[in-house]
Amino acid sequence: MTIQDIQTVKDLLAEQPVISIIPHKNPDGDAVGSCLGLYHYLKQLGCNATVVAPNDFPNFLKWMPAATDILIYDNEPEKATAQIEASTLIFTLDFNSLKRADTLTPLLEASVATFVMIDHHEAPEEYAKVTFSQPEASSTCEMVYVFIEAMGGALQIGAEIATCLYTGIMTDTGNFKYQSTHSNTYRVAAALIDRGANNSEINGKVYDTNSFDRLQLLSASLQNMVFLKEYHAAYITLTAEELQRFNFRKGDTEGFVNYGLTIEGSKLAAIFIQEGNFVKISLRSKGNVDVNMLAREHFKGGGHINAAGGRYDGTIEQAVALFREVIPAFLSQYI
């Protein structure tokens, strides 16, 4: 974040633009938290801002301040389309390729608005006038905090902004346990607590509000787990039938993949979830095992060194077969 970039954003906001704030498809805690944190800040500046999401987000995030203000394309496509078409300034948060916006991608690609990107994923595309890219950051929420500070807005961070940003940092660091959690992450989290984020309450709302069906689904996923001891890798499968049996709701499988990493000796974990005619894949790892590379090379995805995702167009059996085929050579680099 250069002084010139910050001044450019200030000049853009001085033009009183119509602003849209966009998260990626299937918004997680960091995407929702960063968008809402920025939304509250821009509202305090008197800006005309709206968060527009491609699709819905998990119920365990819907308590967040102003979450009900988010315009969801899947629910109101005409209204969301009109909002983006009217926008003269668009912030894209927690993604750096317009393809990650899914149903919103054609609208964003056709837009004549000025773009500002704030994101912590690797290899950003060059579509924004101002790009804040910091792959080493714990989360986009941490970056939004730094952005607001650089804009001179630190004193404007109250309980609403602090709550949104703390939630995103907490979820994207796995409750502050992932390797991406640096000393500055704790300093930012402490500052947000000082500004009104109730860390205990936030933790409870995100992690301690399970439905009985979700716990049953977790039980089924653990029964399906396979541990490839010789390769230090574990994977979980969940079929469409299993999701239906346990009344799956968006966000119910959040964190399931991490159980594979708790096995002694495990260095890589994956979960394969059948969604229609494709398989959604989440990958997690320890140390220097680069699942971002694995996702990019074999599963049309990407992410971070220790956390990535992708997809496979086909059946869950085919996706697992490919995983088992490529894992020996992939992990031989690290073991």
Over residues 141-176, the pLDDT tens digits come to 999 999 999 999 999 999 999 999 999 999 999 999
Percent of the chain having pLDDT more than 70? 100
Is 243's pLDDT higher than 80?
A: yes
* Backbone angles phi and psi of 199, in degrees to 5: -60, -40
* pTM of structure: 0.90
Please, which pLDDT band fits residue 250 given cuts at 50, 70 and 90? confident
Mean pLDDT of the residues in the chain? 95
Domain count, the chain: 2
Question: Are 25 and 162 within one domain?
Answer: yes
Question: Are 269 and 137 within one domain?
Answer: no
Which of 207, 226, 255 marks a domain boundary? 207
What integer pLDDT is reported at residue 8 of this predicted model? 97
What integer pLDDT is reported at residue 335 of this predicted model? 74
Per residue, what are the HEC states of 159-212? HHHHHHHHHHHHHHCCCCCCCCCCHHHHHHHHHHHHCCCCHHHHHHHHHCCCCH
Instruction: Give the domain extent around 295.
Output: 216-331
For 22, the token pair is 């966009």
CA distances from residue 10 to 7, 46, 268, 292 in whole angstroms, order as listed = 5, 13, 43, 34
Question: Are 226 and 257 within one domain?
Answer: yes
Q: Tell me the H-state helices in the chain.
A: 3-14, 29-44, 77-86, 105-110, 140-150, 159-172, 183-194, 199-207, 212-223, 240-245, 291-298, 316-331
Question: Are 121 and 173 within one domain?
Answer: yes
Which of 177, 207, 237 marks a domain boundary? 207
What integer pLDDT is reported at residue 334 of this predicted model? 85
CATH of the domain at 288: 3.10.310.30
Over residues 271-310, the pLDDT tens digits come to 999 998 999 999 999 999 999 999 999 999 988 899 999 9
Question: Are 224 and 315 within one domain?
Answer: yes
What integer pLDDT is reported at residue 304 of this predicted model? 86
Is 257's pLDDT higher than 90?
A: yes
Which of 207, 238, 257 marks a domain boundary? 207
Question: Are 161 and 280 within one domain?
Answer: no
For 228, the token pair is 């490839």
Please, which pLDDT band fits residue 1 given cuts at 50, 70 and 90? confident
Question: Are 176 and 282 within one domain?
Answer: no
CATH of the domain at 80: 3.90.1640.10
Work out the average pLDDT over 239-248: 95
Question: Are 222 and 202 within one domain?
Answer: no
What integer pLDDT is reported at residue 84 of this predicted model? 98
Work out the average pLDDT over 179-200: 96
What integer pLDDT is reported at residue 165 of this predicted model? 98
What integer pLDDT is reported at residue 213 of this predicted model? 96
Percent of the chain having pLDDT more than 90? 93
Please, which pLDDT band fits residue 21 given cuts at 50, 70 and 90? very high
Work out the average pLDDT over 13-32: 97
Question: Are 225 and 194 within one domain?
Answer: no
Instruction: Please give the Cα distance from 15 to 300 (Å, whole number).
Output: 39
Question: Are 244 and 183 within one domain?
Answer: no
Over residues 106-150, the pLDDT tens digits come to 999 999 999 999 999 988 999 999 999 999 999 999 999 999 999
Question: Are 148 and 35 within one domain?
Answer: yes
What integer pLDDT is reported at residue 52 of this predicted model? 98
Over residues 94-106, the pLDDT tens digits come to 999 999 999 999 9
Question: Are 15 and 74 within one domain?
Answer: yes
